[in-house]
């Protein structure tokens, strides 16, 4: 077998999309030593995180050139048995497509997207979904949303959950705190939130809840730390933080690598994920695997991923968010119990399992194509 993987997300700090394809490729190297893999890359240095025996092909970082010309041309030349993409396939695709659609937030919550991005996703994802040999998503929530949006039978959509990297494990807290102090100049206890600064992640709602928390419970010395890259929405978030009466206790690290993120998780007292909408929510599992208690939204796929191992709240309710943080920060026994449940929950998900199920889908697509070709020849 020969499989093409659109891995242009690697090195572009596309958070979930990059984490997804990077971990799949790393797991494929150990699970399938017979097949050929071709990784289509865009960013300098991206080849360093792709398994050495995998072939590397370079395509433009410009999405119009990549999807309109480079990827199509590469697939014609390389002739893989299929190509795996996230959301959008090349305009002229000469091979079967397996597409991963992690969610349909661009349809269900268009207000979270700039107009141009929203229109682009509406057009290109529907074209890809309609023509794909197989559609894969990360959660039952997303399967239902995709089926509803495109009028599909949910049984035709495969649910293959994501996971978190094995790097995320409990570490001694004192060295982690020292690292965070030295690297980010963040001292003292803090509440952590991980995610790009975009409206869907609800950073402003968390800032408001944090303000109320520390105003009502002045014995809490905690800061609030946001980890994630700036987006078009970031100036608004920074403006709100700077105007806060607790602005000196609100910190932004920007994008960080996994090694830095591991230390940030382990040095924190609590992880809060207040997103309005997620197709999965990998940071929930990363925090749990790192031994942190989690409070997260009760919407979309987050309650499916977190199960009973997190304190859930309505992300539209400041009061519920404050209560969740207060209960975990002021009750050490409760926090320890949630940390233990979180580690157990995170252990249920592994990238090896995700990759194995995805490879099974590749094989099924190739075999179905061979059967169809054989049937055509027999009736010719």
Per-domain residue ranges for the chain?
2-163+350-379, 173-346
Cα atoms in the Cβ-side hemisphere of radius 13 Å centred on 292: 32
| CATH code of the domain made up of 2-163+350-379 | 3.40.50.2000
At which residue do the structure tokens 């370079």 appear?
58
Please give the structure tokens belonging to residue 46.
């991206």
Report the b/e string of 217-247 with b at 16+ CB within 10 A: eeebebbbbbbbbeeebbeebbebbeebeee
Please, what is the average pLDDT of the chain? Answer: 95
Please give the structure tokens belonging to residue 299.
């919407």
Please give the structure tokens belonging to residue 239.
């403006």
| Cα–Cα distance measured from residue 28 to residue 136, given in angstroms and rounded to the nearest whole number | 17
Phi, psi at 296, each rounded to 5°: -145, 170
At which residue do the structure tokens 């999807």 appear?
67
pLDDT at position 342: 98
| Cα–Cα distance measured from residue 45 to residue 3, given in angstroms and rounded to the nearest whole number | 22
| Cα–Cα distance measured from residue 206 to residue 315, given in angstroms and rounded to the nearest whole number | 9
Matching CATH number, 173-346, of 3.40.50.10680, 1.10.443.10, 3.40.50.300, 3.40.50.2000: 3.40.50.2000
Cross-strand bridge partners of residue 194? 227
Of the pLDDT bands very low, low, confident and very high (cuts 50, 70, 90), residue 370 is: confident
Condensed to tens digits (0 to 9), the pLDDT of residues 97-107 reads: 999 999 999 99
pLDDT at position 375: 60
Whether residue 58 has pLDDT greater than 60: yes
Condensed to tens digits (0 to 9), the pLDDT of residues 318-346 reads: 999 999 999 999 999 999 999 999 999 99
Q: Where are the alpha helices (DSSP H) in 79-202?
A: 105-108, 115-131, 140-150, 173-184
| Cα–Cα distance measured from residue 319 to residue 213, given in angstroms and rounded to the nearest whole number | 9
| Cα–Cα distance measured from residue 225 to residue 64, given in angstroms and rounded to the nearest whole number | 36
């Amino acid at each position: 077998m020969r499989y093409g993987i659109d891995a242009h997300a690697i090195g572009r700090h596309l958070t979930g999309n990059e984490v997804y394809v990077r971990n799949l490729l790393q797991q494929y190297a150990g699970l399938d030593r017979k097949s050929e893999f071709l990784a289509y890359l865009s960013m300098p240095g991206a080849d360093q995180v792709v398994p050495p025996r995998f072939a590397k092909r370079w395509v433009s970082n410009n999405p119009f050139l990549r999807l309109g010309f480079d990827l199509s041309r590469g697939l014609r030349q390389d002739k893989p048995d299929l190509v795996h993409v996230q959301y959008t396939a090349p305009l002229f695709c000469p091979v079967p497509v397996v597409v991963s659609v992690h969610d349909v937030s661009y349809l269900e919550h268009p207000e979270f997207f700039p107009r141009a991005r929203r229109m682009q996703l509406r057009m290109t994802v529907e074209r890809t979904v309609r023509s794909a040999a197989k559609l894969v998503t990360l959660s039952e929530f997303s399967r239902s949303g995709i089926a509803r949006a495109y009028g599909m039978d949910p049984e035709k959509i495969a649910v293959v959950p994501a996971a978190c990297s094995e790097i995320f494990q409990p570490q001694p807290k004192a060295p982690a705190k020292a690292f965070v102090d030295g690297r980010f100049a963040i001292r003292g206890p803090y509440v952590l939130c991980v995610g790009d600064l975009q409206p869907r992640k609800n950073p402003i709602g968390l800032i408001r809840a944090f303000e109320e928390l520390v105003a009502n419970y002045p014995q809490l010395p905690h800061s609030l730390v946001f980890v994630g890259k700036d987006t078009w929405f970031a100036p608004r978030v920074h403006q709100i933080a700077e105007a806060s009466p607790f602005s000196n206790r609100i910190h932004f690290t920007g994008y960080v690598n996994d090694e830095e993120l591991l230390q940030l998780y382990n040095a924190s007292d609590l992880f809060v994920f207040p997103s309005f909408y997620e197709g999965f929510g990998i940071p929930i599992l990363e925090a749990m695997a790192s031994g942190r208690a989690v409070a997260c939204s009760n919407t979309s796929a987050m309650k499916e991923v977190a199960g009973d191992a997190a304190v859930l709240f309505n992300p539209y309710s400041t009061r519920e968010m404050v209560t969740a943080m207060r209960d975990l920060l002021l009750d050490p026994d409760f926090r320890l119990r949630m940390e233990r449940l979180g580690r157990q929950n995170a252990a249920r998900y592994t990238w090896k399992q995700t990759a194995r199920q995805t490879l099974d889908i590749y094989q099924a697509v190739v075999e179905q194509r061979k059967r169809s070709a054989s049937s055509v020849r027999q009736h010719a």
